[in-house]
Structure 1
Amino acid sequence: MRFKAVKDDIYPFIQYANNFTSPKNLNTILQNILIEAEADGVTLKATDMQVGFSGKLDVSVETTGVATVSGKKLLDIVKEIPDGSVIDFFFDGSKINISAGKSNFKLSTISHEIFPTMAEITPEYSLKIKSQLLLELIKKTSFCISTDASKIEYTGAHLAVYGNKLEVSAADFQRIATSSLMFDDEYANEFIINIPRKTVVELIKILDHDEYVEIDTDRKQIIFKIGTIQIYSKLIEKYIKSITKLFSNEFPLTAKLKRSEFLDVIKRVSAITSEVTHGVVLSFKDDSLTLYSLETEYGAGNETVEDYEYKGNPIDIIFNSKHMVEMINNIDTDYFILQMIGDRNPAVILPDGGDYKYLVVPISINRF
């Protein structure tokens, strides 16, 4: 096997592939990237048995062949080669020789015959949408995916299709995020799948590689095809059936807030909050909204929001400021609506326009 590639072309693919290896796994083949040189280009593959990557580059191949090498060491070597350099990769049957300018390296290999293959999918459902649209849906929701594995159904992004509507939702135990778009055509079958957090994180890095993304799933596995890149993933077979049900409640208390001002104020007030609760009190009155930090051993702080409209009875409600900041950061409109029921009930955050929304659970402690 022998081929040449410009560092700037192959390095991003090595980075992507390395993210799908399993460095801590005792099975060393899962730490490796498979390199397959064919007449029409070079394909890089990697997997940790739960998720997998395949990406094909259009490069000059002198001799075809297959080999696997340590993903981390290959990445470390290519990273340090100057940008714009032409790199010569040559597999001599036992080692891969990497040359660029005056630099020469030899990497040990493992037989490609024991490299695990990706499971084939017979699609039950298929979608094709613009990559940028899917990226926006995921970015507006993925930060709510739980990292607590005690309830596996919360550790992924729920992708649901209802007729001509695609909805992506995520939840931890204190927040829910949901975002949707409408298709021009209706899909005959409704379905819900739960995509693991790691898959979602890696997908975000790659979605801008092509205008469209094609999605095939059989409910147990999923493939995302983005140009010459494919991401394979097992699915979480448990999911939250009524993940957005709480949004349908009646919310009699409503505040309209300027996103930039509210974000600045809550960041300043939260600087002195408890590192455990991060609690900030929102004190709503007819003519003012004041944010207070819960008093701690460090002290306390408060600030009043000026750009403010409110309908309803006065209320003091306590939120985790880190959760609020993370949600408000993902709003891309000048204003948003905060809807509430009471100081112990979930509240809803609605951007002033747009097909996404957030739900946040207050902290159930007394202010004084």
Structure 2
Amino acid sequence: MKFKCLKNDIVNIVQYANSFTTSKNISTILQNLYIEAEGNEITIKSTNLQTAFTGRFEAEIEQTGTTTIPAKKFAEILKELPDGSIIDAEFTGSKFIIKSGKSKFTLSTLPPEHFPTISDITPEYFIRLKSEELKKMLEKIQFCISNDHSKLEYTGGHFKVFGNKLELSAADFQKIGITESTFEEEFSDEFTINIPKKTITELIKLLDLDEFVSIETDRKQAIFNIGNITIFTKLIEKYISSLNKLFNIEYKVSVRLPKERILDSVKRVSTLTSDITHAAVFSFNHNQLDIYSLETEYGQGYESVDGIEYENEPMDIILNTKHVIDVLNHIDTEYFIIKLVGRKNPVLIFPDEDWYRYLLTPISIERKL
């Protein structure tokens, strides 16, 4: 194998591929990149067995071939070379040699036949949509995905296609996020898949690379095609049922609040909340919202926000301030709506534009009067 390319053509592909390799405590081959030179194209692959990356770019190929090289070290070398550098790469049969200007690097290799084969899938479902649209939706629900692997269905983002709608949702026992998008044409089939959090994190990084993304799935695996990049992922074959129904309960109270004022107040009060519960009381009463922490060993924080439109019966609800801050940080509008039923019922929060919504579970703590 022997080829020549520009640093700018290869460096990003290698950095993206590096994100799909594994840590040192597993198989060495999974820490390597698979490189293939064929025709006028270089193909770079990486995998951690759960997800896989394939990227392609054009290069001047003098000799075809394949090998595998350490992903992290190759990425570090490319990063340090000057932008615009011309890179000459050659596989000699045992070593991978990189030359650029007066620099020369030699990397060890492993046989390419040891590199895992990425599973083929027979797609049952296919959709194509704008990358920007999917990225916005994923960013709105990503932080709601649970890190607790005792219940696998909560460790991914639910991707539901029905009619001319796409619905993404995620939950972690204490907060739920849901977002919807409507398309001009109806999709041919309805389906639901549960995409692992790690895959969603990597997709968000890659979706800026092309205007459109296509998705193929057999509901056990999925492939995302973004320009010259293909992402493969195994799917979570468990689902949280009826997440959407939780948003359709009847709320007694609806209040429109200024986002930045509330966010700043919650941040200040949160400095004196419990390190375990992060709990604060949100007390609605006569056009005023009082926010105060439950007294801890450190003391107590209190803020009052007046001038809000609240004319219902007084209502107190205890919420996790970290979750409130997370939700408000993902709201883009100047004002947001909060809907309430009672102090033991979930709280609905959404922006002035109603294409994404959040539910927060209140904290049950008996306060001393």
TM superposition score normalised by structure 2:
0.97
The Cα of 1:303 is off from its aligned counterpart by 1.0
Residue 350 of structure 1: aligned partner: 350
Task: Give the alignment of 1:45-60 within 5 angstroms.
Answer: 45-60=45-60
Which residue is 1:176 aligned to?
A: 176
Contact 2:288 2:307 in 1 (8 A): no
User: How many residues are matched?
Assistant: 368
1:21-67 CA distances to partner (integer Å, 9 max, x unpaired)? 11235321111100111222111100111100001012222222111
Return the alpha-carbon distance in structure 1 between the equivalents of residues 280 and 347 of structure 2: 15
Q: SS at the partner of 1:89? A: strand
In structure 2, what is the Cα distance between the partners aligned to 1:354 and 1:209? 28
Q: Which residue of 2 aligns with 1:212?
A: 212
Aligned residue identity for 2:330: N
- On the 8 A contact 1:96/1:109 being kept in 2, the answer is yes
| Structure 1 Cα separation of the partners of residues 9 and 40 of structure 2 | 16
Matches within 5 A, 1:215-234: 215-234=215-234
The answer to whether the Cα contact below 8 Å between 1:257 and 1:307 also exists between their aligned partners in 2 is no
Which residue pairs with 2:313 in the alignment? 313
CA contact (8 A) 1:253 1:311 kept: no
* 3-state SS in 2 of match to 1:269: helix
Instruction: Report the AA paired with residue 38 of structure 1.
Output: E
CA deviations over 1:93-129 (Å, ceiling 9, x no partner): 1110011222211111111112112111111110000
Q: Name the CA shift for 1:182/1:311 in 2 (closer, same or farther; >3 Å).
A: farther
Judged with a 3 Å threshold, the aligned counterparts in structure 2 of structure 1 residues 22 and 82 are, in CA distance, closer, same or farther, namely same
Alpha-carbon spacing, 1:305–1:104, altered in 2? closer, same or farther (3 Å): same
Residue 131 of structure 1, CA deviation: 0.2
Q: Secondary structure at the match of 2:309?
A: strand
Write the letter of the residue equivalent to 1:351.
P
Counterpart secondary structure, 1:141: helix
Partner of residue 155, structure 1: 155
SS at match of 1:159: strand
2:54 and 2:8 map into 1 onto residues whose CA distance is: 18
- The CA distance in 1 between the partners of 2:31 and 2:307, in whole Å, is 54
Q: Residue 271 of structure 2 aligns with which residue? A: 271
1:337 is matched with which residue? 337
CA contact (8 A) 2:287 2:311 kept: no
CA contact (8 A) 1:281 1:367 kept: no
* Secondary structure in structure 1 of the residue aligned to 2:324: helix
Q: Percent identity?
A: 52
Q: What residue identity is the alignment partner of 1:316?
A: D
Which residue in 2 is equivalent to 1:140?
140
* CA shift for structure 1 position 287: 2.0
| Deviation, structure 1 residue 290 | 1.0
- Checking the alignment, whether the CA contact within 8 Å between 1:125 and 1:217 is kept in structure 2 is yes
Find the residue that maps to 1:308 and give its secondary structure. Answer: coil
Q: Which moved more, 1:66-75 or 1:229-238?
A: 66-75
Asked if the contact 1:283/1:317 (under 8 Å) is kept, the reply is yes
Partner of 1:39: 39
Structure 2 partner of 1:109: 109
Give 1:267 deviation, angstroms.
0.7
User: For residue 94 of structure 1, what is the amino acid of its counterpart?
Assistant: S
**Which residue in the other structure is 1:283 paired with?**
283
Residue 307 of structure 1 and its aligned partner are, at CA, apart by: 4.7
3-state SS of 1:140 partner: helix
Counterpart-to-counterpart distance in 2, 1:347 and 1:354: 15
- 1:238: which partner in 2? 238
> 1:183-235 deviations in whole A, cap 9, x for unaligned?
11112422110001110000000001100000000000000000010000000
Asked if 2 retains the 8 angstrom alpha-carbon contact of 1:171 and 1:177, the reply is yes
TM superposition outliers: structure 1 runs of 4+ over 3 Å: none
Shift of 1:6: 2.2
SS for the counterpart of 1:3 is strand
Query: Which shows bigger deviation, 187-196 or 225-234?
Result: 187-196
Tell me which amino acid in the other structure corresponds to 1:236: I
Cα offset for 1:263?
Answer: 0.8
Q: Return 159-168 or 237-246, whichever deviates more.
A: 237-246
- What amino acid does structure 1 have at the position aligned with 2:114? I
Query: More deviation in 341-350 or 143-152?
Result: 341-350
- The structural deviation recorded for 1:313 is 1.6
Cα distance in 2 for residues equivalent to 1:311 and 1:186: 43
SS of the equivalent of 2:207 reads helix
TM-score by length of 1: 0.97
- Segment drifting more, 117-126 vs 154-163: 117-126
2-structure distance, mates of 1:367, 1:83: 61
Aligned residue in 2 for 1:69: 69
Supply the distance in 2 between the matched residues of 1:307 and 1:221 (Cα, whole angstroms): 51
SS at match of 2:323: helix
* Structure 1: gaps spanning 5 or more residues: none
**How far off is 1:311 after superposition?**
4.5
Aligned to 1:251: 251
Measured in 2, the distance between the counterparts of 1:5 and 1:313 equals 70
1:193 aligns with 193
How many Å apart are 1:259 and its aligned residue?
0.9
